Amino acid sequence: MRCNDDSDMKIMSGKASKQFDLAEGAATAFNREKANGNLERARTLGRKFAADLFENDGKALFGVGAFDDEKTIVQRRVLFAYVVNRVIEDMAPNSFVAQSALSVFYDTLQKASEQYYQESTDAAAFSQYILAARAMSDDPCAIGGVFARLCGRSTDKVFVKYGCELADFFTLYCTESVLSAQFV
């Protein structure tokens, strides 16, 4: 049987598919970020933030106050990691730079201390911070309330304020660090 009707055949047009265009655009953007030094700046920033958690057991950055015990020190590391994520994602020029910084941050944490890595990637705690920030974006102490709750002190208004002040301090510190990275 011979069929000469090829009307049902689709011939690819000269235009590339949308997926190909996106992939090519992503590769170009990645190469641009690599060439302009942003990826190396991001890696340096990620290493810096990880080192901040380790320098003098994190006490150089965090200080130790009257409210602190082992549980609060752990929760301060978790809060710091949350703020690092938020600030990098908000301030990085694009997702390549943000993911590079965060990958190096977490890889460095994991290599240096599995315990710190596990504490700093506590998904339940991160979810609580994210939900509080979304639900009460106009309330600067929402994060402080989560911090107090994670420390087992949710009804202590002084502890909520303490968590709020830590979050503000970490945000300012991380923001200054990202700005000093001088991304292009």
Task: Output the pLDDT for position 5.
Answer: 59
Task: Output the pLDDT for position 164.
Answer: 92
Q: Is residue 121 part of a domain?
A: yes
> In this structure, are residues 132 and 149 in contact, taking their beta carbons and an 8 Å threshold?
no
pLDDT at 39 over 90: yes
Task: Output the pLDDT for position 20.
Answer: 44
Position 29 confidence tier, pLDDT thresholds 50, 70, 90? confident
Q: Is residue 85 part of a domain?
A: yes
**Burial class of residue 4 in the structure, from the number of CB atoms within 10 Å of its CB (0-12 exposed, 13-18 middle, 19+ buried):** exposed
User: What is the pLDDT averaged over residues 68-75?
Assistant: 87
Position 17 confidence tier, pLDDT thresholds 50, 70, 90? very low
Higher pLDDT, 142 or 58: 142
Q: Is residue 142 part of a domain?
A: yes
Q: Is residue 152 part of a domain?
A: yes
Position 62 confidence tier, pLDDT thresholds 50, 70, 90? low
Q: Is residue 92 part of a domain?
A: yes
Q: Is residue 10 part of a domain?
A: no
pLDDT digits (tens, 9 = 90+) for 87-96: 999 999 999 9
Which tokens sit at 107?
């890889």
- The answer to which of 24-33, 42-51, 150-159 has the lowest mean pLDDT is 24-33
Q: Is residue 124 part of a domain?
A: yes
Which structural domain range is residue 173 located in? 39-180
pLDDT at 4 over 90: no
> In this structure, are residues 62 and 73 in contact, taking their beta carbons and an 8 Å threshold?
yes
User: What is the pLDDT averaged over residues 43-54?
Assistant: 92
User: What is the pLDDT averaged over residues 43-52?
Assistant: 94
Q: What is the mean pLDDT of the chain?
A: 84
Position 103 confidence tier, pLDDT thresholds 50, 70, 90? very high
Q: Tell me the C-alpha distance between 10 and 12, whole Å.
A: 6
Q: Domains in the chain: how many in total? A: 1
